[in-house]
Amino acid sequence: MYVQVFSRFSTYIADLSVKPGTFVVAVTLVIGWVFGPFVGYSETWQLVINTSTTIITFLMVFVLQNSQNRDGKALQTKLDELILTSQAQNKFVGIEKLDEEELRKMSKALAEKAEHVEDVADEKAESKQTPA
């Protein structure tokens, strides 16, 4: 229940945070913060702004990280589905759960395979260009 409520809340806040109006409000607050002392705002004003921005930043880290994690999991699930329903090798499903060393080994093997495919493609292109 709490997870679902937090997910909805974080999605709403993440969507709200990227709107142009939110940016305008943020810029306005920063301008007020910077020019406050010049127009006679008190030190209490500076303290309120500093405290508010710190709290908002701290909370936004959790909200945006939650949103980012859900997006990453959704993308990974879509990729897994594509792998399972295609000619791709099923050993790649779930590789995000491997440790760093295993991931490096798979990445290196894929890079070597891609290099080989590129060489074959180059050879085919050259053979088509060479007159018989």
DSSP code string of 35-50: HGGGGT--HHHHHHHH
List the alpha helices (DSSP H) in 85-131. Answer: 100-129
Nearest C-alpha neighbor of 103 from the set 112, 92, 114: 92
**117 and 56, same structural domain?**
no
Residue 101, pLDDT above cutoff 70: yes
| 114 and 51 together in one domain | no
Residues in the chain: 132
Identify the domain containing residue 110 by its residue range: 98-132
What is the percentage of the chain residues whose pLDDT exceeds 70? 98
Residue 19 and residue 31 in one domain? yes
**pLDDT 10s digits, 110-129:** 788 878 877 878 888 888 77
Q: Which pLDDT value is given to residue 131?
A: 63
Asked whether the predicted pLDDT for residue 5 surpasses 80, the reply is: yes
C-alpha dihedral (109, 114, 120, 123), degrees to nearest 10 = -130
pLDDT at 83 over 70: yes
pLDDT tens figures, 17-59: 889 999 999 898 888 888 877 888 788 888 888 898 899 899 9
- The answer to whether residue 90 scores a pLDDT higher than 90 is no
10 and 61 assigned to the same domain? yes
- Contact (CB, 8 A) for 67 and 11: yes
Do 36 and 49 form a contact (C-beta atoms < 8 A)? Answer: yes
Q: Are 106 and 98 in contact (CB under 8 A)?
A: yes
At 131, is the secondary structure helix, strand, or coil? Answer: coil
Give the tokens for residue 94. 């779930």
Q: Is the same domain home to 12 and 56?
A: yes
Domain co-membership, 80 together with 125: no
Q: Structurally, how many domains does the chain consist of?
A: 2
